[in-house]
A and B are shown apart, each in its own frame.
Chain A
Amino acid sequence: MKPLMAALALTTALTLPSLALARQVTLTTTLNAYGGNGAYLALYVTDAQGAYKGSLWMAGGKTKYHEHLSDWYRATGGNTAEINGITGASVGSGRELSITLDLADALFDAGYVLHIDAAVEDMRNSPSEIAVPLTTAGAGQPTPGRRYIASFAYTM
């Protein structure tokens, strides 16, 4: 019995810290009814110094259009390795995109900023249309966009 309890305690001790290192976050982006084709959106994170850290989601799979997500493209050079496994369809005018993912706990309250670049075919590019600090206090607070995005919010 004792070895079993010891094993249980050990696995619990090993599992709990990993659970605490990540939190499930839902990113919700609502688009304006701008009337054009589906919007390409790049969601990515910069650190406190403004340096690109990585991408969270790419809405729009055709690589040839990614250069229109100009801030993201400048930071990554359009490297598809940055968005492998986190790429989906573009988002239609007036639609709402919800992404639920496990984010590292260290991203919150540490100066990291979540950006969204937006672009629509035959319409103007909108780099960093959203730039919102990742904080626990900011969860659930909607942030308005400038052109294609009506609002963005993250919940935990």
Chain B
Amino acid sequence: MKTTLAILAATTALGAVFALTTLNLAHAGNRPTAADADQKSWVQLVSGDDDEGQDEDCEDEDDDDGEGEDGHDAACLPVQNAAPAGTVAPPANGLFGSTTPPKVQVN
């Protein structure tokens, strides 16, 4: 009986050691290395190039053809675009006689 228990304890211990070793190896495989870091930077550079490509798309996507619409592409607009007429009062620059928005017509 004692022998059986000793063998069981030994196999359990060996199994545990084997399992822990395997787990450590698996984790070591996911750990970032210097080479990984280099690869990541490169990936980020590639990603940066992609972003530039998107900006170029924005530049190319110019639909200001004056047909009454002014294509607003939210992804490409600078944040400081002026408020369109009618949404706020004209600026208080002393030129306007009232705060009435200008009336505009394009023929």
Given contacts A54-B94, A95-B106, contact A85 B81 (CB under 8 A): no
Contact code string B79-91 (vs A, CB < 8 Å = 1, else 0)? 0111111111111
- Per the bound structure, the CA–CA distance linking A39 and B66 in Å amounts to 7
Contact code string A73-91 (vs B, CB < 8 Å = 1, else 0)? 0000000111111111111
Which residue of chain B lies nearest to A82 when distances are taken between CB atoms in the complex? B91
Interface membership of B97, Cβ < 8 A: yes
- Per the bound structure, the CA–CA distance linking A87 and B72 in Å amounts to 13
- Per the bound structure, the CA–CA distance linking A92 and B106 in Å amounts to 9
Which residue of chain A lies nearest to B101 when distances are taken between CB atoms in the complex? A85
Query: Which segment of A5-13, A97-105, A136-144 sits at the interface?
Result: A97-105
Interface membership of A135, Cβ < 8 A: no
- Per the bound structure, the CA–CA distance linking A96 and B89 in Å amounts to 24
Number of interface residues, chain A, beta carbon within 8 A: 47
A57 contacts B102, C-beta separation under 8 Å: yes
Interface membership of B64, Cβ < 8 A: yes
Interface membership of A149, Cβ < 8 A: no
B95 contacts A107, C-beta separation under 8 Å: yes
Contact code string B41-69 (vs A, CB < 8 Å = 1, else 0)? 00000000000000000000010111111
Given contacts A56-B95, A63-B78, contact A37 B104 (CB under 8 A): no
- Per the bound structure, the CA–CA distance linking A104 and B90 in Å amounts to 13
- Residues of chain B lying within 8 A (CB to CB) of residue A58: 82
